[in-house]
Amino acid sequence: MGFGGHRSRRLGCSREVGAAPDRPVRLRRGHRGRYDSAEATEDGTTPSSADGPGTGATVQKITTTVDAKGIQLVPDAALLGKGTGPWYIDPGWNPTLDNANQAWAQVQEAYRDTNEFNGTQDGQDKPATGYCGYRYGNPPCTGVGRTRAYFQIGMDARLHGAEVINATFYADVVSSSSPDTRTPMGLYSTSYISNPTSWEQQPCDENSRMGGCSRVGTVHMSGSGDIQFDVKDLVKTAVANKWPTVTLGLAPDDEYEKRYRQRFSNTPHIVVEYDIQPTVWWPRAAPTPGFAGTGSYADCRTPGTANPWDNPGWVGANNNITLTTSTYSATGQQLWTAFQYWDDAGAVKASTPRRDGRAAMVPSRSTSGR
């Protein structure tokens, strides 16, 4: 886009759109003022307000805890100790999907050919992992030897094309052979399980600890209750490749230590926090740039050019210029839009971030008087 005068200035219609900063509560200190208009101030800055951080605003996370009294917010003392307010607290939010377990299998070295896919007899519906060495328990441990637990969890198709922000595998420990023993429990990515699944027909090799299967993570646990594993990288791969399921195996680091034996419920699940890349279309400028000699005008880019900045159209001198684009977030996120413009006379590049898809430039910053 050019401007009237002896020298032209370009406004390349480049823009970047992303979700508003995430996680989970933020403390912001910025300039006083409202954010009620798309108009920037004459010096090109944007004031902070309840709608979002402005130019030069400092943003820090706030530690949050929940207790009987409510939600406790602990702001960054270093941020509060500098400058003057106002300060704004922003709750971050991203959608989540809970992916449920579809199948389980306990496999036992002592019963090598026994099919335990989705088993319900003799405690098979509470899959165990670790070494069976104690003959008493709930359910009882019968058959000396190693035991492993596998779970197959469905991946929600709504995650296809999404950005995985966090993913956590949750499992519930229902009993432990030695509740006071700190157990290093490993989580492994495996091939799928099906009917039948037994010690002889299982995803991981028996000749080493979960042989041939990739370790996803480790937790040190004791007693019963909930345990969690970070499975973000695995789920990102699953989503990118549109896997219908993810299969995971649990085994302690020492499969021959009887104090490490644990039983799990058959309802583990994976909770995925995600976002979907926003849609951006129809970049445009007002007044509409063009060429008076030919009477041709275009919202943003001159037709037939290889790049947005090639052969830019003209706008008369001393005009306020407004850049606009349309954006949409499939997950309902608040979006910010960054416009970039170039001054071909001085090779100056600037960026103007806005939350509403519009940016305005005043004449003193966008026209040439020469």
> 298-329 pLDDT, tens per residue?
888 888 888 877 888 888 888 888 888 898 88
Predicted confidence (pLDDT) per residue in 62-95, tens digit:
777 777 777 777 777 777 766 666 777 766 667 8
Q: Which residue has the higher pLDDT, 336 or 20?
A: 336
Which residues 6+ apart lie within 8 Å of 37 measured at CB? Answer: none
How would you classify the pairing of strands 314-315 and 2-3?
parallel
Predicted confidence (pLDDT) per residue in 21-34, tens digit:
333 444 444 443 32
Q: Which helix (H) or strand (E) holds 240?
A: helix 232-240
Residue 122 has pLDDT above 60, yes or no: yes
Q: Rg of the chain's alpha carbons, rounded to an integer?
A: 30
Residue with tokens 């791969």: 237
Q: What are the distances in angstroms from CA 129 to CA 262, 321, 328, 331?
A: 6, 67, 47, 39
pLDDT reported for residue 7:
35
User: Rounded to whole angstroms, how far apart are CA atoms 309 and 317?
Assistant: 19
Residue 227 has pLDDT above 90, yes or no: yes
pLDDT reported for residue 117:
98
Average pLDDT rounded to a whole number, residues 163-171 = 95
Predicted confidence (pLDDT) per residue in 179-224, tens digit:
999 999 999 999 999 999 999 999 999 999 999 999 999 999 999 9
User: Rounded to whole angstroms, how far apart are CA atoms 330 and 278?
Assistant: 7
pLDDT reported for residue 3:
33
pLDDT reported for residue 38:
36
- Is the distance from CB of 40 to CB of 93 less than 8 angstroms? no
Edge-first strand order for the sheet with 358-361 is: 279-286, 321-328, 358-361
**Overall residue count recorded for the chain in this entry:** 370
- Is the distance from CB of 302 to CB of 310 less than 8 angstroms? yes
Provide the residue type at 175 as one letter: S
Tell me the three state secondary structure of residue 260: helix
Residue 61 has pLDDT above 90, yes or no: no
Residue 287 has pLDDT above 60, yes or no: yes
User: Rounded to whole angstroms, how far apart are CA atoms 326 and 261?
Assistant: 57
Residue 346 has pLDDT above 80, yes or no: no
Q: What's the chain's average pLDDT?
A: 79
Residue 140 has pLDDT above 60, yes or no: yes
User: Rounded to whole angstroms, how far apart are CA atoms 197 and 190?
Assistant: 13
What are the structural domains of the chain?
Answer: 1-20+279-328+334-370 (no CATH), 23-92 (no CATH), 97-275 (2.60.120.230)
What is the token pair recorded at 283? 């970049």
For residue 121, give the nearest of 134, 108, 136 by alpha carbon: 108
pLDDT reported for residue 245:
98
pLDDT reported for residue 210:
96
User: Rounded to whole angstroms, how far apart are CA atoms 13 and 300?
Assistant: 6
For residue 327, give the nearest of 318, 319, 336, 339 by alpha carbon: 336
Tell me the three state secondary structure of residue 259: helix
pLDDT reported for residue 222:
93
User: Rounded to whole angstroms, how far apart are CA atoms 89 and 28?
Assistant: 6
Which residues 6+ apart lie within 8 Å of 27 measured at CB? Answer: 59, 60, 61, 62, 75, 76, 79, 80, 87, 88, 89
